[in-house]
Each structure stands twice: as C-alpha cells, then as structure tokens.
Amino acid sequence: MDKYKWLTLCTICLFAGCTHINTNNSIIKEIVFDEKAALCTTAPSYTFIPLETGNDNLIGSINIAKIVDDRIFILDEDYSKSIQVYTLQGKFISHIGSRGNGPGEYIIPASFWIDKTSQTILVNGLTNQLIVYDLNTYEYLYSKKAPTFSTFISMPGGHYAWWTWLGYKDGEQTYDVMITDSLFQNKRYCYPRDYEVEREFIFTKEGFYRLHDKTYFYKAHNPVVYEITSEGEKSVYQVVFGNHPFPPADYLNALSEGTNLMKTHYVACYQLLETDSCILARYIIGRDRYIGIYNKNENKTYRYADFHSDSSPLKETSFAGTTDDGRFILGLQAEPLKRRYIPQDDLRELAKMVSADDNPVICIVDFK
C-alpha cells in the first residue's frame, strides 16, 4: 500500500469560485504562505509518541487524531478502517466499535467527534446514522438517524453542520453545507455550489474544524475560510500560496480528472490546521508538496528546516489535528524514519527503536 498517496475520490464536489470578497462585500484578511519565506531560527518543540504495534491494532495512516483525558483517539480510514485508542505513551487500549452491519457497527468510520459534555463519541460509519459510544468504556450506546453526510461537526448550542460529496438540494440550488439543530431538524443551507469536479483530488475531506467556541469551514479549491454558525456562514480570511493562483470555476467544471491539476500552475489542493497562535498549511503546486507556518501574533509566515528540508522525514507528516493547549498533532510513518536523514536527536534515537513496518508515530509540535 502506498502510504503517501494523495486521496483521489470519485465525487461531485465543491463549491464557490475563488472570490477575494466576503459575503458582505468587504475585503477580508489575507494569510500568505510562501515556500520562499525566511527560515525561522527558533526550533519547534516536539513530543514523539510511537504507537504500539500488534496484530489486532495495525494502522496504515493517521487520518484524524484527538487527545482527550490523556488518551489519543485515532481514525485510520485507509488500512484498518477503525478508530483506536492509545495512552499518551502510545500503548494500545481499545478499538471503538467494529466493522459490520449490526447495531453499533460501521461500514467505514469516515469521521468522529468527541463530546466531552455528554462523555460520548459520535461516529460517522457511512450508515446514514450517528453511532454513539461511551467515551470511557467505549461501549455502544445508541444510533441516531442522520441526514445523508460524508463528514460533520458538532457546533456550540447543540447544532450540527453536515457536508456530503453530493451536496444538498434546496429547490434548484445545490449547497455544500447543511446546518441543523440537535434533532437534525430546522435545516439551513449554505455555500451554494457553482462548480463540480469529478474524481476529486484532496488532502482531506475534513473541511470543518473548531477553535474554542467557533466553527470554521474551507474547501480545497476555494481560498476563503468561513466561520459558520446556526445562522449561516461568514468569510473570515483567505489563504494565499505565494504567487500561485487557484483554479477558476470554469476550469474546474471542465476537468475530467482532479489529479490533472498537478499538471498546471494552479494550487492543486490544500489543508489547514489552526490554533490560537499559528495556522499550519500544506499544499501542492504541480507535483511539489509544501508546508507553511503562519504566526498569527506576528502576521508573518516562516519556514522551518525540520519541515522544509527535502531530506527530513517530517516533510512527509500527515495533518491529524490540534490539542486543547494549542499544539499540532501530526502523523509520521515509521518507514521514512529508516531511510531519511534525521536532524533531531530525540527522533534519531526513536528511529533506532522502530522498524519500517511498525505503526506510525504521533508527532506533537509546538511552534514557539
């Protein structure tokens, strides 16, 4: 299995053109990432957690990771197709649910959300239901019939936001996002879709994320990042990747294959993680992959040698999530640790302890 392949998914996909103007017709802030930015002289701090490898808990890749109450919850959609729980030392604890068609079982766990208030784990198992498990015992509790969706997020006030590859029809218009109340009623639609791309090429379908009490949404071919509430959406900033433009809507409509964007000068796709102090981005131009770090306090983009050197294994990390205290959770395959030059002393020592076939390593990064 190619653990570093970029997802190519068959779908009707995505919304909105590449506007630089928000819904209120006012100019919004630009967050500029530049692969030629200056190198930062302050090294990040790292915590590396090798995940225990066993016959019943093999992981292909870390698609989503969340840390709650000294436990790491990991979704591996590519190989084991499971949600697994580990200690902060990387020891395997349990699976959440299992594959199947019975009560509490899923086809593939496509996304999940942890509700600390109700102490539950909500899982999208591609069954048109939210499957609910106990956060502490991992036992199945119940399932709730849900709208058709590919991914979702729980919003403040008990609302939910939903997204599906096919979009949501309201009259003649198709929308990308639907917002409902806690009973999945009182539907409100946002992000009218004005182009379609078959066989979409993306890093992740997890376009939703939370930062404290605010919920955000973005898409791989639209530079605008939106805040969403129960009332709808509001654009908050747009990302700029050097001098590389985003593909216009008419070009996207004419595409027969999303990967063809890698043959152009356009931004092929991007992914974001955000904390109070930083925004972390990875993006593709042509066949080159880049990572950018934007310091929100200084309004400045930096490069870090650990992530931008072609020889560094950290250049191949996956973006998995953020911690409550403002750090980034990345996934690092064990195999690159055996074939790449490693500048960090602690990671070099770790590389001596793992084999190429071991489970991935959790990398928690704090950009000071």
Q: Measure Cα distances from 116 to 48, 50, 67, 69, 328 in Å.
A: 25, 26, 11, 10, 20
- Model-level pTM? 0.88
φ/ψ (deg, to 5) at 250: -65, -35
- Asked if the model's pLDDT at residue 5 lies above 50, the reply is no
Mean pLDDT of 234-248: 94
- Asked if the model's pLDDT at residue 177 lies above 80, the reply is yes
Q: Measure Cα distances from 102 to 95, 134, 144, 325, 336 in Å.
A: 16, 17, 14, 38, 38
- Asked if the model's pLDDT at residue 154 lies above 90, the reply is yes
Answer yes or no: are the C-beta atoms of 152 and 163 closer than 8 Å: yes
Secondary structure element (H or E) that encloses residue 142, with its range: strand 140-145
What is the DSSP secondary structure assignment for residue 261, as one 8-state letter?
G
Lowest mean pLDDT among 14-23, 97-106, 164-173, 331-340: 14-23
φ/ψ (deg, to 5) at 32: -100, 125
The predicted structure's pLDDT at residue 217? 94
pLDDT in tens, 127-137: 889 999 999 99
- Produce one character per residue of 214-243: b if its CB has 16 or more CB atoms within 10 Å, e if not: ebbbbbbbbbbbbebbbeebebbbbbbbbe
* Contact residues for 227 (Cβ-Cβ < 8 A; gap 6+): 214, 215, 216, 233, 234, 235, 236
Lowest mean pLDDT among 26-30, 51-55, 85-89: 26-30
User: Which residue would you say has higher pLDDT here, 109 or 258?
Assistant: 109
pLDDT in tens, 16-37: 222 222 344 457 899 999 888 8
Lowest mean pLDDT among 141-145, 216-220, 234-238, 335-339: 335-339
Domains and CATH numbers, the chain: 7-366 (2.120.10.30)
Closest-CA residue to 294 (of 67, 29, 7): 29
Position 360 confidence tier, pLDDT thresholds 50, 70, 90: very high
